Structure 1
Amino acid sequence: MKFLTTTNPLLRAKVTVAAAMVGCVLATAACTGTTSSASNTAGGTLKVTAGASGPFTDNFNALIASSSSATGFAAYAIFEPLLQEDFGSGKTQPWLVTSYTWGPDGKTLTLKIKDGVKWSDGTAFTAKDVAFTFNLMKANPAFNAVSLPLTGAEATDDTTAVVHFSKPAYQVMWWRTETVPEHIWKDVQDPVKYANPNPVGTGPYMLKTFTPQAITLQKNPNYWQAGGNFPTVQYLAADSSSSMIANLQSGGVDWIGTAGIDGATVKKLAPNAIDYWNTTINPSVALLLPNFNHAPLDQLPVRKAMDMALDRDEISKIGTAGLNAPVESPTGMDVKTRSDLIASAFSGQKYGKADPEQAKKILTAAGYQLGSDNVFVSPTGQRLDFKLTVPTTYPQADLFGMTRVMVPELAAAGIKVTVKSEQQQAYVKDVEMGNYELTMRTNGGTPSVYDFYNRIINQQPIKASAATGTQLNYERYPNPDAPALLGAYAAAAPGSKQEQTAVGAIQNVMVNDLPGLPLVFSGGAGMWRTDRATGWPSASDPYAAPVPGSVNAELVLLKVSPK
């Protein structure tokens, strides 16, 4: 997983449609949408808008995955993962856990906890808190977003926690777990419904005030390391990319993350005060996801036809203005940085140009008939007429912009798609609950290839009730072989022959059964005010992803300093 900086001016010059759309956003930036703002006090407050998610929700439950976006990603400054992620090297780095060792059977994980860390209320952070958190996850499946096969955990002393799994778990993403304080949470009657209105964390900042429009954080006086040079950080709500850019231009906000807008174009609004870094983060991919509970999207010929009808290069160039690189391998892996984890059976396969005629042949061979309105009808009378739910704005890719390319490409293959756009919070909820026909969402964004595939084919939501949301397998793809496939991968030590075999078996599902259709890689687009702060990440200093909606936001907040 590497940072790939998007700097090709020739590509941008060719993208006239996308450039026109960007121009419209910038031209109306000063007069459309709403963004909360407050006057900056020099050196006092860093103002951040991580995305156009609309009003914030007062829920800082660190163990509910959706709470981070609900709070405008301010939670990334309050709570910390056990290991931080170095997106530049594609590896993890010590954080609250200084080292770890696996037992010989892969079922026992021993964590050495950093000594001297305190919670923001001054209480010592110990291995007991870590063990308590993993036991909470075991007792409450809603907390176990990545489906860790936990059987329990205990602290053997203040700096050693031992986590137990029911099966070998070398590959599972345990390190993203955000620990909660036992001395507070042990008295919570219903931890899943607990909104945690006064969050206590180990991060560099702590909650000062909350409103639906502005979350204000203050420095944690008990933070365990240097950094956090702004005494106050304020997260501001926004409802559109144009309002975010307008506020950046006016100085009402200092750091934003938005997709589909080229930072080079935004920089022209204030060349001496705005800078940016456009990156591609792998393995994180925007996929087209069919809802398998909505026939006939559960039929393979329909998914194959869609796959054949889409041109990833055009989706990238026009739909994202070249800011999101096209996926080349149908495995979803980057052929440049992850070739070692592409099975030999698929190493030579790459996406080609859109082929609507071949897509029509696939459907015709499966008994579908093209109607007089140029829309196919299934053998049981179901029209290939779907709603595609996307957010109006999205931090990692311009999903809405991509639909402008995808809808006509699918129409050329006899598949009608109507776009349904929603504010980000409504979209997140609908996707989690399965309230969509087609959708797009990014997947991955961690150093773990296992996690990338686990989020696509894990069968947890298949067994859950219809009223249960999920952070895994949003498309509700049923495959009785998936648990064994994931189990074999999790049990394979990194770099082993077993890992190659296991990942190849999962890629066979990805390529031939199409649970999700990879489109483009996620982008890390950060823009900021250089007249307010120094120390921002860049191509020459790639210490973190530049996106305020990323787990790496903590690293940026620790390094930037008032100017």
Structure 2
Amino acid sequence: MVLPKSPRAGVRAATVLVAAALVAAGCGPSSTSAGSDSTTLVTYSGQSGDYQLNFNPFAPTSIGGAGTIFQTLFFYNVLRDTPPEPRLGEDFAWNADGTRLSITLRDGVTWSDGEKFTAADVVFTLDMISRHKGMNNTGYAGRAEAVDDTHVVVTFDRPSFVDGPSVLGRTYIVPEHKWKDIADPGVAAVDKPVGTGPYVLDEFKPQAYTLKANPTYWGGEPAVKKVRSLSLSGNQAGIAALKAGQLDWQTGPVPELQNVDKAYPGYQAGVFHLNQIVLDTCSSAASGCRGPQTDPAVRQAIYLAIDRGQTNALAFENTGSEVSPSFLLPKRDGALISDKLRNRTAPMRPDVAQARRTLEGAGYTKDADGIYAKDGEQAALTLTVVAGWTDYITAAETIGQQLRQAGIKLTTQQVSWNEFVDAKNLGRFQLMIDSLYQGPAPDPYYLYSYFFSTAQTAAVGAKAGPNAARFSDPEVDQALDALKLLDPADTAARRPHLEKIQTRVEEVMPYIPVLTQGTITTYHSAKFTGWPTDSDLYASPAVWAHPDSAEVLVRLRPAGK
């Protein structure tokens, strides 16, 4: 299965899932390079540094193609309580005990090279994931069989209802005839992608790549004929390009957010809350992590010493919202947050005195530099951030100043995106400012299974799955195993297992919660119509959200057409 890359990275209605606000409406198109071609859409997702050519949707270094080139069987909208929408699949059904998933595929679909898409491609993709552990980020354990060209049956040894959204909505189907000879498909570079989606690769350059509309797409050739994705030096360059009207769609910080209509004529902006900003910690000494962050007392002290209100104001224009140390979303999952937690939501103001008491209770004493130390080692840490991510850099530097008050020394290290990914995958870091993302359906099980399962991590030096913190806990694993056997609709049966995970996560804290991120997306409404809005959140409006961005692209139309 493929999980979303770290964004910049049926339970509740959309109004409690997202705090999406229409900020402003522009008054006319910009007379700039973006506005000069009414059928080419220019995007910026926050990419800093050159692109490395790779459209493998399973690879951690993939630069795109998920949803646009390679498609899933169905589309699940995690922002709204709506049924999954057919894509390469047309229908699916479970048997009564959740051990057999029957899927009907769309007939008449062809790959972009003209070959016919069949059930054999679906079986090949699922089998490939089973064979390569590094690709199996969701613990998929099914056995797929093609009944005929348009029907697939996936059999499980035990109830597996929760596997449905991952198999159906987050597995990008690839062509067997192109992929069967790839030795290591989890990391291989794919430079000539062949898919079933609405777009194909047109041109690649390190500073930008362009997709063009697929004329044989089963859903009809998109009205947006080309999509150009830019690599810039960082957020400031993105803001300058937006100001000049050279971008049509950007997800990232925007100064003067409340005055978009004046600062960026022709644009609108929205804010939604879904992913959680955290400090990833390489937490497990047993797995090879080294540094003060391997001590839970240090992690708890950092949690207590962060001034979230100040960080929100200085780094995020107050667009962030409260975050729960359980990592359930307070608005979406409020009814499931355990009463056994010490904090239902992380305090917005720091408790420096308690942070100091926590360290002193664990045997730390202040040295001559005013930094707490134990056994001759200072509570001195390096916090890694992607160069060019100005909001995260500001947050990192702000948190560093705050922690100094609690006797903890923090040094910010800026690296390229590729260096960041490599360090995260291999555990070569102490702290990283990052974000946790939600799963394929509005259910906290998925975030827990991604980031807190032993199956999704590895020793330092080996490539981990999403669990970059190297966290491993038998109680959490047991609770996840129990949840996997239960029907997601059985809230009463699931509650004690969710509570067990929440209390352990708060106690051990391998990811230190900062804020629920206010994701800002700005788009050129004077040039294209059909964007997601708070009244019609048919998909996530973030450029980097996959496969959601493809859903947006196929709905857009040049203004006036």
> Quick check: 1:493 aligned with 2:487?
yes
Amino acid at match of 1:451: Y
For 1:108, which of 92, 97, 100 is the aligned residue? 100
> Quick check: 1:426 aligned with 2:422?
no
Residue in 1 that maps onto 2:497: 502
The alpha-carbon deviation at position 104 of structure 1 amounts to: 4.0
Amino acid at match of 2:527: R
Residue in 2 that maps onto 1:390: 385
> Quick check: 1:147 aligned with 2:172?
no
Distance change >3 Å, CA 346–CA 481, structure 1 → 2: closer
- The TM-score, its normalising length taken from structure 2, stands at 0.87
User: Percent identity, aligned pairs only?
Assistant: 28
Residue in 1 that maps onto 2:297: 301
Distance of 2:528 and 2:461 partners within structure 1: 45
Amino acid at match of 1:99: D
Instruction: Map 1:43-82 to 2 at 5 A.
Output: 43-64=38-59, 66-68=60-62, 71=63, 73-82=64-73
Distance of 2:497 and 2:221 partners within structure 1: 42
> Quick check: 1:362 aligned with 2:358?
yes
Amino acid at match of 1:4: A
Instruction: Map 1:148-297 to 2 at 5 A.
Output: 148=140, 150-172=141-163, 173-174=166-167, 175-226=169-220, 228-259=222-253, 261=255, 263-265=257-259, 267-271=261-265, 273-281=266-274, 284-292=275-283, 293-297=289-293
Kept in 2: contact 1:386–1:418 (CA 8 A): yes
Distance change >3 Å, CA 135–CA 160, structure 1 → 2: same
Distance of 2:127 and 2:499 partners within structure 1: 33
Distance change >3 Å, CA 167–CA 302, structure 1 → 2: farther
Moved more, 116-125 or 434-443: 116-125
Amino acid at match of 1:320: F
Distance change >3 Å, CA 186–CA 531, structure 1 → 2: same
Residue in 2 that maps onto 1:28: none
For 1:436, which of 417, 421, 429 is the aligned residue? 429
Kept in 2: contact 1:50–1:258 (CA 8 A): yes
* Partner SS state of residue 183, structure 1: helix
Distance change >3 Å, CA 461–CA 556, structure 1 → 2: closer
Moved more, 399-408 or 548-557: 399-408
- The TM-score, its normalising length taken from structure 1, stands at 0.86
Distance change >3 Å, CA 125–CA 213, structure 1 → 2: same
The alpha-carbon deviation at position 520 of structure 1 amounts to: 1.3
Give ranges in structure 1 of 5+ residues lacking alignment. Answer: 10-36
Task: Give the 4+ runs in structure 1 shifted more than 4 A.
Answer: 6-9, 37-41
The alpha-carbon deviation at position 7 of structure 1 amounts to: 7.2
Distance of 1:265 and 1:393 partners within structure 2: 24
The alpha-carbon deviation at position 474 of structure 1 amounts to: 0.6
Distance of 2:497 and 2:436 partners within structure 1: 20
* Partner SS state of residue 171, structure 1: helix
Distance of 2:494 and 2:119 partners within structure 1: 31
Kept in 2: contact 1:80–1:178 (CA 8 A): yes
* Partner SS state of residue 382, structure 2: strand
Kept in 2: contact 1:311–1:354 (CA 8 A): yes
For 2:509, which of 506, 510, 514 is the aligned residue? 514
Distance change >3 Å, CA 311–CA 199, structure 1 → 2: same
Residue in 2 that maps onto 1:22: none
> Quick check: 1:85 aligned with 2:76?
yes
Distance change >3 Å, CA 261–CA 478, structure 1 → 2: farther
Q: How many correspondences in the alignment?
A: 523
> Quick check: 1:129 aligned with 2:124?
no
Residue in 2 that maps onto 1:117: 109
Distance change >3 Å, CA 476–CA 377, structure 1 → 2: same
Kept in 2: contact 1:52–1:238 (CA 8 A): yes
* Partner SS state of residue 476, structure 1: coil
Q: 1:49-71, CA deviations, whole angstroms, 9 ceiling, x for partnerless residues?
A: 2223321111111222x244xx2
Amino acid at match of 1:233: V
Distance change >3 Å, CA 535–CA 8, structure 1 → 2: closer
Distance of 2:138 and 2:268 partners within structure 1: 35
